[in-house]
Amino acid sequence: MSLANYLWGDAELDRRQEILRALAQSPLKTVCRNPYSLSRKDLWTVRLQQNVELLQMKMRLGWSAQHYLDALRIACPDVASLSANYRIFLKNLEAQMSDDQKAYWIPKAQRFEISGCYAQTELGHGSNLRGIETTATFDPATDEIVLNSPTLSSHKYWIGSLGVMATHALVVARLIVKGQELGTHLFLTPLRDLETHDLLPNVTIYEQGEKTLGTFASMDNGVMKFTHKRIPRAHMLSRYASLDCDGTYHSSQNKKHAYTSMVIIRGLMSQEIGVDVAKAIVIALNYTKFRRQFNVKDGQETAVINYASVQSRLYPALSRAVAMILVGREIRDRVDDLQNNQLEDLHLQTVGLKIWGTEHGVRDVEVARLSCGGHGNMAIVGLGSMYAHLSPSRTYEGDNYVLSQQIGNAVVKHWKKNTEMTVPALSYLALLRNPQRMSQKLASHSADSFLSPDVQEDLLERRAALMAKRHIRDTEEGKDTSYDVFQLAMAHADLTYWRGLQSKLRNVPQEHQGTIRALMNVFALTLILEGLDAFAGTQYLTEEDISGLRKAHASCIASFGDHVSSIVDAFGFTESELNSAFARDNQTPYEALLETAQQSPLTDNRFIRPTILRARNLWKSYDGLGAKI
Amino acid sequence: MSLANYLWGDAELDRRQEILRALAQSPLKTVCRNPYSLSRKDLWTVRLQQNVELLQMKMRLGWSAQHYLDALRIACPDVASLSANYRIFLKNLEAQMSDDQKAYWIPKAQRFEISGCYAQTELGHGSNLRGIETTATFDPATDEIVLNSPTLSSHKYWIGSLGVMATHALVVARLIVKGQELGTHLFLTPLRDLETHDLLPNVTIYEQGEKTLGTFASMDNGVMKFTHKRIPRAHMLSRYASLDCDGTYHSSQNKKHAYTSMVIIRGLMSQEIGVDVAKAIVIALNYTKFRRQFNVKDGQETAVINYASVQSRLYPALSRAVAMILVGREIRDRVDDLQNNQLEDLHLQTVGLKIWGTEHGVRDVEVARLSCGGHGNMAIVGLGSMYAHLSPSRTYEGDNYVLSQQIGNAVVKHWKKNTEMTVPALSYLALLRNPQRMSQKLASHSADSFLSPDVQEDLLERRAALMAKRHIRDTEEGKDTSYDVFQLAMAHADLTYWRGLQSKLRNVPQEHQGTIRALMNVFALTLILEGLDAFAGTQYLTEEDISGLRKAHASCIASFGDHVSSIVDAFGFTESELNSAFARDNQTPYEALLETAQQSPLTDNRFIRPTILRARNLWKSYDGLGAKI
C-alpha cells in the first residue's frame, strides 16, 4: 500500500485520480484565475457556471453523487451551490422518506430535475430544534398541511442553495394536528416553478446577502417566509412518522438514525478540514523553503523553514491535519457495523471531533498564513480564503461552546451513575475514581520516556480527569460551567484523536512506519505540551519532567523534518487545487506576486485621474483663508 | 473629569466631538451602506471619493493633519489611501529633512499639492533594513543620485498609496558613493507628473492587487522598480546625513530618533487596536443582549449575555481594549520628556506592546464574532471585516516571532551583564536572581488575596522570570529559541500592560474608581489564569490556590457586568461608526438582517435563470445511457 492510499483511503484516492484525469482531459471552460477582484455577484455566477459544467461531466461520465461532490471540492474552491442537492438534500430523502416516496423523488433529485435544500435554521434558532417556530398544521378538510412563519424570528435563514437555486426545500417545522403539538418533522415543499423558476404562491424568498470575509460567496444561502403555504399531506417525510388522512399520527422512534447522521457529518467534517489544513501547510512549506531571512551562510540567508519558529508551527499543524483525516474516516467507517450500545460512545467521540477539528483547523490555517509573513496577506496566496472558509465552522453544526456541554453533561451523568465503563470515550472517569493513581507522580523522567505510548496516554487521560474533576465539582456547586466546559471538551477530544491515530499505526505499510511514527510523536507531544496548564498546582510533573518533555518535543520536531516531503508527495495536490501564488510549477512566489500586480485592475488608473487631480488642486480654493492646512 | 475624557484623553475627545459635529452638519455625499457587495475596484473608488470629500472638509474647516487622520478613521472604515501622505510621509519629512528641505516640501505635502508615500519594504526584505537591495549611487558628474532596482527581489512592495495615488516616494535605499557602501538613507523621489499623473521615466509601478480577506481594499499598495532613475542630490533627506557635491559624506547618529519613531508608532498601534476591539465588543454586547437561547424563565429564553461562556469571553476582551488604549497613550506621552537612559526601557516596553496588542487584538475581535454565533458570520455585521483589518498586524511593523527576539536578546544581555536594574521593564530578572524568593510558595490562598495588586504583580513577575530562566538556559545550550521566545515576550508584555494599567488607576475620577478597579481585576486575573502553564512543575501554587484564583476570577467577571454599560456609554460610538446590522438605532438585529437579504444583488435572479433551467434539463440529454446518475 502506498502512503497516498494510507492517507486518502483506497476508495477516495481512486475517485480522486479518476476526477483529476477527467479534468486534465477536459478542463473547465469557465476559468477564474483571480476570483478576488470580482464582486460577489460576479463570483457567484462564475462558480455556478463551473458547478453546471461539472454536472454535465457527471452525467457524461456516469459519475456517482459522491464523485460529483469530490469533483466540486477539487475544481471549485469555496462551497458549491449545487452541493446542497447532492449532499444534505439527497441524504435526507434517503434517510427519512418512505420507500414509496423515495421511488418517486430520489431519481428526480439525482438527475437534478429538481434541486433541493434543507431548511432547518431560523433567524431565532439553529441547532436547538425545540426553538423552531415554523408550524405545519394539518387541515383534514383538504388533506393538506399548512406551513406558516408566524414571527420575524421564524424566517428560515442560512439555508444553503435556497436563495437562488432550489426548487424544493425539506422544511423542518412543528407538526400540529387537531391542536396537538407533535414535534418537528420534515416536509418536502415546492418553492419555484419548474418551467420558469418563478416563486410559487405563499412563499417569500430572499438571497441572504454577503457572508463575512467573502466566505461562502458561491453559496446562495436564503431566507424564507411561509404565508399559510399548503402542501399535500403526502409531502410529509414518512419513514419514521406518518399521518393518516383522518389525522391519526404514527411514529417510530429511531434513535440510531438521529445519532448516526450526525456521526457521519462530523466524521466527514474532520476529514474535510484535515484536507484543507494539509493544503494550507503545503502552500506554507513551499514558501518558507523559498523565502530566506537573516543568518547568512555560504553567501545566502537561511531558508525560513529552518527556524524553530516556523517548524514548531507548521509541523504540528501537518500532524493534526493527518490525524483529522485518518480519525474522521475511521469513525465514519465504524458507523456501518455499529451496535446500539456503542451509539453514545461514538456520539461523544464525534462531538469532540467537531469541536477539536474546527478549533485547531481554523488556527492551523491561520498559522500557515502567519508563517508566510507579510506576503501571506496577499489574496492570491489563497491562505486567507481558506481561513475564511473554515472560520464559521466553529459556530455551525452546533456552536462549540454549546456543543461542549454535551460532553460535560455525559461526564456528570456517568460519574453519578458510576457507568463510565460502558463508554470507552470516558475512560478518564475511571482514572479519576482511583485516588492512588491520581496522586502518583510520573514514573520516569527521561526525554525518551515521553515517546512511550503508555506515558503519552497517561498524561492525556490524567489531564482529562483533572478537567472532569473540576467540572463535576463546579456542577455540584451550581456554577455556570458553560465557559470552562470547553477546556474539558478539548481534553476529551485530545484523547479521542490520540487513540484514533495510535490505532491507525497498526496498518501503516512497513516502509512508511517511520514516517507515521514520527508524525504520531509530534502530534502527541504537542498536545501534551500545550495542555500543561492543567498540571499547575499538582505534584504529577516536576521541573525535570517538563524539561525532558520539551527536549523530546524539540527532537521529534527536528527529526520529523526528514519525513515531511514524503507526506506532501503522498497528498499529491495539483497546482490548480492549491491555487496559490506560492505553489506554482513554473513561477517562484516573487514572480507570481509580481504578475498579480501587473494584472491588478487598479494598475491602469486613468479612470480615477480626474478625481486625483481635483484633490491635488483643492488647496488653491482654500489657501490664504487662515486654515491650518 | 468624565469617564469619556479618561478613556479617550482630553485632546482626542475634543477632536472627536468636533469631527462628529462636522459630519452631522455636512454628512459625506458618497454613501456606501453595503461595501461587501462591491468589487474591489468599485470599493476602492468609493473610499477614495470619501477621502477626498474629507480632505475638502479639512481645508474648509482648517483642520490639522491629526484632525484629518481621526476623521478618516471615524468616517471611512478600512485604511484610507490619503492617510499615507498625512501619516507616514509627512512625519518622516518632519523628522528627517533639513530645515531648508522642510521649508520647501512640507507645505506642499500639507496642502496635498504633492501626495507622498514611504517606500521601504521590498519583495525580499521588510523590516530587516540590512537586506534592502535598492541602490542609490552618487554620480558626481551630474550631481545626481541614481536609484536602481538590481533584482526581482528588490522591487519595492507593500508601499501604501504608491499603487495609484502617490506623486512622490520617500525611498529607502543603500547609498553608494565612490564605490563605498554607506548604509540605507531616504531619498525623496518624484514618481508621477503633477499635471497629468503619468508615470515619470525610469520608474515602473503596479498596484499590488487584492489583499487577503478583502482587507486594506481601499489602500492602493504598490510595487515599484527603478531603472537607473536619476534624482538631484538635494533630494537626499539630510537632517542626520548629507552629501557634498564632491561626494564627501557627513553623518550624525541619532539613536534617540530611531527609537522614538518606533515607540510612537507602536504606542499608536496599541491605542488604535484598543479602539477597534472596543467597537467589536460593543457590537457583540448589543447582539448578545438581544439574542435569547435556552433556559426559559418567565416565558422567555435567557439572553445570551447572561451565560458565563459569553461573559468570560467578552468582558476580559473589553478590559484588554481599555488597557491597550490607556497604556498606549501613556507610552506615547512619555516620549516627549524622555531621558536618553530611558530609551531602552521604553523600547522594550513598546516591543511588548506591539506583540501583545496585535495578538490579543486579533483574537478579541474574533471572539466578539464567535460570541454572536452563526449570525456573526454575515458581512453586514461588520465583525469579520474588523478581524480582516487587524489580522495582518501580527506580521507587519515586524513579525511578532522575529520581534520577540529583541526581548529575548535583552534578557540574555542584561542577565549576563547583571544590569537589569537600569531597565525597569526587565525587573523580573532581579526576581530570578533571588533563589529564596523564587522558591517561596504563594503566601495567601484566599480568593480575596488575588485582588491584591502585590499578589497579582508577584504572579506575573514570577511567570516572566520562569520564562526568562528557560530562555537563558536554552540560549546557553545553543538551542534555536525563535519559537519559545514568543511566550517570554508575551509574559514580559503582560507585566508592562498590568503595570501601565495599574498606574492609570491613580488618576481615575473618584466617581469612576469602582468601574476601573473592577476592570483592572478582570484584566489581571484573566492574564494570570491564562498563564498558569508556566507554573506546572513548580511548587509555587497549590490546588487550593488555583481554586481560589478561579473563584476570584468568576466573581470579578460577574461583578464587572454592572460596570459594562458605563464604559460602553463613555466610548459613545455612533451608529455610523459601528456600521453594523447588530447596532442600529431603529432596527433590531433580526430586522437588519432581513433588510440585508431583501437588498441582496442575488435576490432578483432573472439574470441567471437560463443557466439554471439548462442545468435542470441536462439529464434529458444523458438519461438512458446507463449512467449512474
CATH number at residue B462: 1.20.140.10
Residue A73 covered by a domain: yes
Q: Is A397 a catalytic residue?
A: yes
Indicate whether A214 and A290 sit together in one domain. no
Task: Quickly state the pLDDT bin for A552 (edges 50, 70, 90).
Answer: very high
Indicate whether B148 and B243 sit together in one domain. yes
The whole-angstrom distance between A580's CA and the closest CA on chain B is 12
- Looking at beta carbons, which residues of chain A come within 8 Å of B149? none
Domain count, chain A: 3
Q: Do A62 and B126 touch (CB under 8 A)?
A: no
- The arithmetic mean of pLDDT across residues B193-220, rounded, is 97
CATH number at residue A159: 2.40.110.10
- Looking at beta carbons, which residues of chain A come within 8 Å of B545? 537
Indicate whether A153 and A278 sit together in one domain. no
Active site residues of B: 397
Question: Is the separation of the CB atoms in B294 and A467 below 8 Å?
Answer: no
A123, A379, A626 ranked by CB distance to B211: nearest? A379
Mean pLDDT for all residues in chain A: 95
Amino acid making up residue B354: K
The whole-angstrom distance between B31's CA and the closest CA on chain A is 17
pLDDT at A245: 96
User: φ and ψ at B605, to 5 degrees?
Assistant: -100, 20
Q: Do B379 and A213 touch (CB under 8 A)?
A: yes
- Looking at beta carbons, which residues of chain A come within 8 Å of B554? 479
- Say which residues have a Cβ less than 8 Å from residue B319's Cβ, sequence separation at least 6: B519, B520, B522, B523, B526, B560
The whole-angstrom distance between B304's CA and the closest CA on chain A is 11
Task: Quickly state the pLDDT bin for A255 (edges 50, 70, 90).
Answer: low
Indicate whether A228 and A202 sit together in one domain. yes
Task: Quickly state the pLDDT bin for A445 (edges 50, 70, 90).
Answer: confident
Indicate whether B227 and B271 sit together in one domain. no
The whole-angstrom distance between A510's CA and the closest CA on chain B is 33
Find the domain containing A176 and state its range: 114-253
Indicate whether B243 and B302 sit together in one domain. no
Q: Do B62 and A294 touch (CB under 8 A)?
A: no
- The arithmetic mean of pLDDT across residues A282-302, rounded, is 94
Cα nearest neighbour of A121 on chain B? B374
Q: Do A131 and B293 touch (CB under 8 A)?
A: yes
pLDDT at B618: 97
pLDDT digits (tens, 9 = 90+) for A361-385: 999 999 999 999 999 999 999 999 9
pLDDT at B255: 66
Which phi-psi region, left, alpha or beta, contains residue A210 (left: φ > 0; alpha: ψ -120 to 50)?
beta
Q: What percent of chain B has pLDDT over 90?
A: 89
pLDDT digits (tens, 9 = 90+) for B161-184: 999 999 999 999 999 999 999 999
- Looking at beta carbons, which residues of chain B come within 8 Å of A486? 309
Question: Is the separation of the CB atoms in B380 and B596 below 8 Å?
Answer: yes
Which of B516, B545, B567 finishes a domain?
Answer: B567
Residue A88 covered by a domain: no
The whole-angstrom distance between A538's CA and the closest CA on chain B is 6
Q: Which of A18, A397, A457, A595 is catalytic?
A: A397
Residue A599 covered by a domain: no
Judged against a pLDDT cut of 90, whether residue B397 lies above it is answered with no
Which of A50, A77, A104 finishes a domain?
Answer: A77
Q: Which of A437, A429, A428, A427 is closest to A540 using CA atoms? A: A437
Residue A587 covered by a domain: no
Cα nearest neighbour of B293 on chain A? A125
- Looking at beta carbons, which residues of chain A come within 8 Å of B441? none
Which of A253, A278, A296 finishes a domain?
Answer: A253
Is position B126 annotated in a ligand binding site?
A: no
Indicate whether B70 and B207 sit together in one domain. no
Indicate whether B308 and B167 sit together in one domain. no
The lowest-confidence range among A345-354, A496-505, B257-266, B298-307 is B257-266
Question: CA triplet A617, A618, A619: central angle to 5 degrees?
Answer: 90
In sequence order, the β-bridge partners of residue A289 are none
Indicate whether A463 and A389 sit together in one domain. yes
Indicate whether A366 and A468 sit together in one domain. yes
- Looking at beta carbons, which residues of chain A come within 8 Å of B439? none
Interface size between A and B, measured as CB pairs under 8 A: 409
**Sign of the alpha-carbon torsion through A305, A306, A311, A313:** negative
Q: Do A602 and B41 touch (CB under 8 A)?
A: yes
Residue B588 covered by a domain: no
Q: Do B611 and A52 touch (CB under 8 A)?
A: yes
Q: Do A213 and B385 touch (CB under 8 A)?
A: yes
A59, A125, A486 ranked by CB distance to B627: nearest? A59
**Sign of the alpha-carbon torsion through B624, B625, B628, B629:** negative
Residue B247 covered by a domain: yes
Cα gap A148→A137, rounded to integer Å: 8
Indicate whether B46 and B73 sit together in one domain. yes
Amino acid making up residue A98: S
| Runs of H (alpha helix) within A195-307 | 255-290
pLDDT at A335: 82
Indicate whether B30 and B137 sit together in one domain. no
Distance of CA B157 to the CA centre of its chain: 20
pLDDT at B436: 93
pLDDT digits (tens, 9 = 90+) for A129-177: 889 999 999 999 999 999 999 999 999 999 999 999 999 999 999 999 9
Q: Do A394 and B554 touch (CB under 8 A)?
A: no
Residue B606 covered by a domain: no
Residue A109 covered by a domain: no
